[in-house]
Structure 1
Amino acid sequence: MEAMELDWMAKSLKGCCLSIISDNFIKFENATLTLPVSLQFAVFHQLYLDGKLDLLAKVFSDLEIFSRMLTVKKRRLDLHRSFQAIRDRDIKISEVIAESYSKQASDIQQSSLDDDENDFDSTISRGFHLGGFFLEAGWNEDASRVLSACIVLCLHNHCFLKAFHCVTKLLHTYNADCLYKETEQMFSTAQEIFQSLRLFMPDVELNLASLFMEYGAYHFAKSEYDKAYRWSIEAVRMLKQPGYVSETTMIDVLRLATRACVVKRQFKAAEHLVRHAVYLAREVFGALHPKYSSTLMDYGFYLLNVDNVSQSLKAYQTALAIREHVFGGQNLHVAVAHEDLAYASYVHQYSTGKFDEALSHADKAIKILTKILPKNHLLLASSNRVKALILEEIAIDSEDQHFQKKLLAESHQLHLKSMELAMNAFGENNVQTAKHFGNLGRLYQSMELYEKAEEMHLKAIAIKEELLGPNDYEVALSIGHIASLYNYDMKQYEKAERLYLRSIAISKQLYGDGYSGLEYDYRGLIKIYAKLGDFEKMIEYDYILSQWYSIREQRRSTALNGLHDLIADTDQEQAQNTRVIIDTFFETITSDTDKSPQNVIQNRTRTSHDIAFAGPVHEQACADRQQSGNNPHEINANHAASSNSMPSSINVDSYESFFPDDDEISVALKKFHVMPLKIKSFKRRKIKSE
């Protein structure tokens, strides 16, 4: 008897009532809808907990009811969980609600009840919040439908300010769904709405940080990194301007600027921003919120790119755990987290050959994306690429030739499909397409198709160098790969040596003497010198490799123990005003701009071999080669570094604006009454190299 009483007491009176209502929901449904909204939510959540998802789907399909649930802000994550559980049952509830809203918006517009502003305002507000919820949950197509209908209604009723905010959200939706033409069109619409705002509401304080951030994210997705960098900087600058900026916008602006600085190799600036974004997201939203997981994904991206792979892995693992907790299984955000973790695991275990975990995450990402996206969606290109890389490494390590050929063939098909999707979306002259060329080059090397491998690698190098400059990490990566091809398979040791030296020079310039990728270049050089009988050089690089091991071991011994330590360390540094972080950021990028060598490629016709082997033309290096009888063995790593870090003439003089004021970005900014940012750098005047 006592045990039974304790069992009953363990469940609160409220919980008992909710269970009774859930068990008899059909009987109590009408009465439930008369309760306060918070209690209605509690009843519906109990339906979710009891697994009565068909009943819950029926309730949530009512636009009025679901819209009320969106107002219960404190239980947003519970709403996401229950909504995703319904979607996982293959009940397309988001499509039903989006269709219902679109019809309601159309009916109100056609009724022409201009004197009833409440109907317009409430429907517009409903569309804005409903579209935002779908966007948070990753149901981009349904979000687009709702927000598009909302914009039409806004413009019909001359609600330009609300239309502008809807357009910003729709930009995010289109970009997340890889609809890049629509993104461009919507940005033009934003410019038109802004002009109307200035005409009819000249005194309104409108902050443009969110709009600039979304347009920068669009350029980042297309690998147009210079443009993404420009827009991200302008978005950060807008955070200090008048007008309301939400905490979500503030965090997302810092996130984009982080990614843009990482690809521009401005790591110090990126670190300032991403650590503050992580701190803000956890302080504002909590450690189990999707926004916090997104900042951890960006932190993982930063850590991976600064060669802190083990900590990057932990950031991605934590981000995935949060997203699985909030969204469950068949969700776009979960798939993206699986993909990023798959790649980080692949990099982390590259030297060990243990790819089971990486392959598992890649398979999960592809399974989810295949289920929820159209067959040829661009997002599949990246997941297929990651799986193809993993399969190739597993094949290489296998001693079973039949199994090896099977995996290589599967990897080939995945790479070709990814290449097709990238070419259709971006064309050939794009960084993403170049990566696919490079991946095919590696695969063809594994398949012993050496001439095709060489062709793919040279294509990748040519595109990357044109778009990113000769000293970028991506260029060094491809140079190292083709050096491996020449060294291990084509026995062209002189070519391989020159390429290894160039790869080493770029890597050390970007990451220092302890960069993980240097191991493979050093090992390659040792093999070359052994084959050529240059034992002095072989011993020299064997010693350099041993020094590299010492540096790596020192890093491991001094590294923080885990992500928790890393985040705790971040807390101590970042508990300061965001304005201070922004000021520090601009000081950092100004300093980086002043110090960084310009990645300028001289205007002359160069073949892909010129690009791969020489980088920018350097007269002194050419003279050195001539004096040494074109013997590459006499050109040391220091000469290789200098020949690939500066053109034959460098430009230094007084300071001038780093960004031009008449390019397309500056013209676009002026349409928003924003004068382009002036970051000072060296004015470029040609002088001869010493």
Structure 2
Amino acid sequence: MAIVASELHWVPETLYNASVSCIVVNFKKYRRELPQLPRNVQFDVYYKLYKQGNLCQLAMEFSDLGQFEVVLKASHVRNKRNLLHHCFQALMDHGMNLATILSDAFSSRATLLQSDQRVEQERGLHLGFYWYRNHYLLFDVFLGDFLSEAGWFLQAEKTYNSCLKICEQYEDNQSLARVFECCTRLIHVQTSNCRYTEAEASYQLGTKILHQLQNSGLKIGASVLEAEKCALLFSRSHYDEAYQYCLRSLHAMNSSSPIHSIINVLRTASKACVVKREFKKAELLIRHAVSLVREHCGTRHPKYSDVLLDFGFYLLNVDSIIQCTAVYQQALDIRLAAFGGQNLHVAVAHEDLAYASYVHQYSSGRFRDAKDHAEKAISIITQILPDDHLLLASSRRVKALILEELAIDSDDKQRESKLLQEAHDLHSSSLNLAIKAFGEFNVQTAKHYGNLGRLYQSMKKYKEAEKMHLKAIEIKENLLGEDDYEVALSVGHLASLYNYDMALFEKAEKLYLRSISIGKKLFGPGYSGLEYDYRGLTRLYAKTSNFEKVMQYHNILTQWSQMREKTSGPVDILEYLANCHSENTTMEIVDTFFKMDSHQSCIGSGPSRDDAKRPAVK
């Protein structure tokens, strides 16, 4: 009788995996021999250490700058970057401040290298940041770039500054080109970390070096530098200037630019177009950026989450809030998978999703998810950054907006009062941070005043509310013009205050009509924000016994509702993104951009609420 082999109840490891496991089990014994193994094998051993929870041993290995360089190179060549992020973030969460340890070690090495031979300096620079010999290479692979990619901006800045000091010792074109490269990366991390004064200084140095290189006959692109300047101005809410630098960066782009630079320019330019309400142009650029990232990076790379957040920003501003929420959720999922833990990139994604969820659920009053995301963002940021960091202002503001709505919907007066006071404390803190960073005369500061105005209305402090709204309108009109979207929002909020709480119906009517005019001009007759104005006017005319006008705006509101039902964005935005392939080259896209008409947008599905009080701006 033949003997039949019994079915295995376990799957044996491959010989390679068994060998890696053996090294990990006997790590102390084989540790000294590990550098003799190929880089990819060393990486797998370290990742196995992480998977088995040997974080203390892993921290000792990664704290060695030379050994971490080996791991960085292996993570790029073998496409294991996300795995390295897992290890790195676990060590940071464990209390090992590896980002600071490595940046300090590199800074010390760079100081020694300044008096060393040029060959040794070249090796040091190669670790600090990757010099693009091959412009088709997609993303940076060394320390400063890794730290920037992982969201440790202050440590990345220190690394780039160390590289800059080495490069500045020489005046040949190659060294100057490296100084220029350092400057563009410094602007990026400094802007991301809200160090705007330092970013401006880096831009000025970069501009000076660029002119020197161009005067010497070297062809070097200014596209990335101008895009980083655009991002800096955008972060400071200088939208007109940001848009001009967006145009300059696109004009300077050429087909030989590195693909990662092209993607960054497209992303930055798209956001600048959004705030200038150039929606058709914004969509053209961000769709092409999505297509490029999907093609070159795939859909699990952190860069894909970056471009998704920018695409979500576009959707949010063109009134496609349902689609925006879905896109933000996918971006958060990617960042959680890539970084997890207490990571700044994860916090930013939580904050964006918190605000989108707040707007999406405004009609239902179900703010649990929005509140959860806002609190997670605040928790992460406070563990990483100082309490007075500007990045906290935005997250606190979002939470304050949510708490205000929860208070309004509460039947418990004591709970209502407590929530409103907490919202007031958060708004006040955010306002103080904004004034400290931007001054009084800034769009961000105006938004904080407007949000305080809404809150005072909820707290029945109507004179204080009026004062805040008028201040917000004045600042926005002076900065953005009288027909800007931001102005319309503040005008609508003041109209609501006059109509519902102060019985100043004549003033309210004028403000409602002005808000409607701006909204229709920018977004068309199907804009979701028009509902609040139409409902407000219907109530106003009922209160003043103008029943002919009541019927008129009742019919207008009915027509608006029918229009909204007929108009929608993509049924499944994620499927839409999956099929987002560009048949045009980047230069063809740029050429199309400069030939397009302005101020056209798509219409999505926004929120509604019976009290005609629209959701606040972020």
TM norm structure 1: 0.82
**For 1:70, what is the secondary structure of its paired residue?**
helix
AA of the residue aligned to 2:100: E
Partner of residue 149, structure 1 = 162
The aligned length equals: 580
Query: C-alpha separation between the residues in 2 aligned to 1:123 and 1:12?
Result: 38
**For 2:387, what is the secondary structure of its paired residue?**
coil
Query: C-alpha separation between the residues in 1 aligned to 2:7 and 2:126?
Result: 49
Distance 1:233 1:3, change over 3 A: farther
Query: C-alpha separation between the residues in 2 aligned to 1:126 and 1:92?
Result: 19
Query: C-alpha separation between the residues in 2 aligned to 1:3 and 1:576?
Result: 58
Report which structure shows greater RCO (CA 8 Å, sep ≥6): 2
Query: C-alpha separation between the residues in 2 aligned to 1:3 and 1:399?
Result: 67
**For 1:515, what is the secondary structure of its paired residue?**
coil
Partner of residue 235, structure 1 = 249
Partner of residue 178, structure 1 = 194
Do structure 1's residue 550 and structure 2's residue 562 form an aligned pair? Answer: yes
Q: Deviations over 1:320-363 (max 9, x none)?
A: 00000000121000000000000000011111111000000000
Partner of residue 49, structure 1 = 51
Query: 1:252-331 maps to which residues of 2 (within 5 A)?
Result: 252-331=264-343
Cα drift, residue 203 of structure 1: 3.6
Cα drift, residue 98 of structure 1: 0.6
Do structure 1's residue 220 and structure 2's residue 223 form an aligned pair? Answer: no
Partner of residue 32, structure 1 = 34
Do structure 1's residue 583 and structure 2's residue 585 form an aligned pair? Answer: no
- Contact conserved, 2:354 with 2:374, CA < 8 A, in 1? yes
Partner of residue 94, structure 2 = 89
Distance 1:2 1:219, change over 3 A: farther
Partner of residue 107, structure 1 = 112
Which of 149-158 and 493-502 deviates more? 149-158
AA of the residue aligned to 1:570: C
CA RMSD of aligned residues (A): 1.6
- Contact conserved, 2:520 with 2:527, CA < 8 A, in 1? yes
Partner of residue 577, structure 2 = 567
Cα drift, residue 575 of structure 1: 2.8
Q: Deviations over 1:424-466 (max 9, x none)?
A: 0000100000000000000000000000000000000111111
Query: C-alpha separation between the residues in 2 aligned to 1:194 and 1:586?
Result: 25
Do structure 1's residue 164 and structure 2's residue 180 form an aligned pair? Answer: yes
Picking from 208, 211, 225, the partner of 1:211 is 225
AA of the residue aligned to 1:313: T
Query: After TM superposition, where is structure 1 displaced by more than 4 Å over at least 4 residues in a row?
Result: 1-6
Partner of residue 132, structure 2 = none
**For 2:95, what is the secondary structure of its paired residue?**
coil
AA of the residue aligned to 1:136: E
AA of the residue aligned to 1:217: A
Cα drift, residue 198 of structure 1: 4.4
Q: Deviations over 1:628-669 (max 9, x none)?
A: xxxxxxxxxxxxxxxxxxxxxxxxxxxxxxxxxxxxxxxxxx
Query: C-alpha separation between the residues in 1 aligned to 2:6 and 2:394?
Result: 56
TM norm structure 2: 0.92
Query: 1:116-155 maps to which residues of 2 (within 5 A)?
Result: 116-128=117-129, 129-155=142-168
- Contact conserved, 1:120 with 1:157, CA < 8 A, in 2? no
- Contact conserved, 1:427 with 1:433, CA < 8 A, in 2? yes
AA of the residue aligned to 2:299: A
Partner of residue 350, structure 1 = 362
- Contact conserved, 1:314 with 1:562, CA < 8 A, in 2? no
Do structure 1's residue 333 and structure 2's residue 345 form an aligned pair? Answer: yes
Distance 1:2 1:205, change over 3 A: farther
AA of the residue aligned to 1:191: T
AA of the residue aligned to 2:391: L
Q: Deviations over 1:607-640 (max 9, x none)?
A: xxxxxxxxxxxxxxxxxxxxxxxxxxxxxxxxxx
Cα drift, residue 107 of structure 1: 0.9
Partner of residue 436, structure 2 = 424
- Contact conserved, 2:92 with 2:98, CA < 8 A, in 1? yes
Query: 1:616-627 maps to which residues of 2 (within 5 A)?
Result: none
Query: C-alpha separation between the residues in 1 aligned to 2:6 and 2:245?
Result: 65
Cα drift, residue 560 of structure 1: 2.6
Partner of residue 592, structure 1 = 598
AA of the residue aligned to 1:152: K
Query: C-alpha separation between the residues in 2 aligned to 1:57 and 1:63?
Result: 11
- Contact conserved, 2:213 with 2:220, CA < 8 A, in 1? no
Distance 1:543 1:3, change over 3 A: farther
Distance 1:153 1:488, change over 3 A: same
Partner of residue 58, structure 1 = 60
Query: C-alpha separation between the residues in 2 aligned to 1:439 and 1:12?
Result: 60
AA of the residue aligned to 1:222: R
Do structure 1's residue 370 and structure 2's residue 382 form an aligned pair? Answer: yes
Q: Deviations over 1:459-511 (max 9, x none)?
A: 00111111111111111100110000000000111111111111011111111
Cα drift, residue 568 of structure 1: 3.8
Query: C-alpha separation between the residues in 2 aligned to 1:373 and 1:2?
Result: 60
- Contact conserved, 1:297 with 1:316, CA < 8 A, in 2? yes
Cα drift, residue 194 of structure 1: 2.7
Cα drift, residue 6 of structure 1: 5.6
Picking from 176, 183, 207, the partner of 1:191 is 207
- Contact conserved, 1:335 with 1:368, CA < 8 A, in 2? yes
Structure 2 residue runs of 5 or longer lacking an equivalent are 130-141, 602-618
Q: Deviations over 1:491-547 (max 9, x none)?
A: 111111111111011111111111111111111000011011110100000011111
Distance 1:534 1:69, change over 3 A: same
Query: C-alpha separation between the residues in 2 aligned to 1:575 and 1:69?
Result: 37
Which of 70-79 and 283-292 deviates more? 70-79
Do structure 1's residue 402 and structure 2's residue 414 form an aligned pair? Answer: yes
Cα drift, residue 16 of structure 1: 1.3
Report % sequence identity: 48
- Contact conserved, 1:342 with 1:361, CA < 8 A, in 2? yes
Distance 1:3 1:299, change over 3 A: farther
Distance 1:215 1:5, change over 3 A: same
Partner of residue 613, structure 1 = none
Cα drift, residue 67 of structure 1: 1.1
AA of the residue aligned to 1:405: S
Query: 1:457-536 maps to which residues of 2 (within 5 A)?
Result: 457-536=469-548
Query: C-alpha separation between the residues in 2 aligned to 1:131 and 1:220?
Result: 24
AA of the residue aligned to 2:159: V
Cα drift, residue 32 of structure 1: 1.3
Query: C-alpha separation between the residues in 2 aligned to 1:329 and 1:26?
Result: 28
Query: C-alpha separation between the residues in 1 aligned to 2:309 and 2:252?
Result: 24
Cα drift, residue 167 of structure 1: 1.2
Distance 1:198 1:580, change over 3 A: closer
Query: C-alpha separation between the residues in 1 aligned to 2:503 and 2:34?
Result: 78
Picking from 232, 242, 245, the partner of 2:257 is 245
Picking from 16, 19, 42, the partner of 1:17 is 19
**For 1:376, what is the secondary structure of its paired residue?**
coil
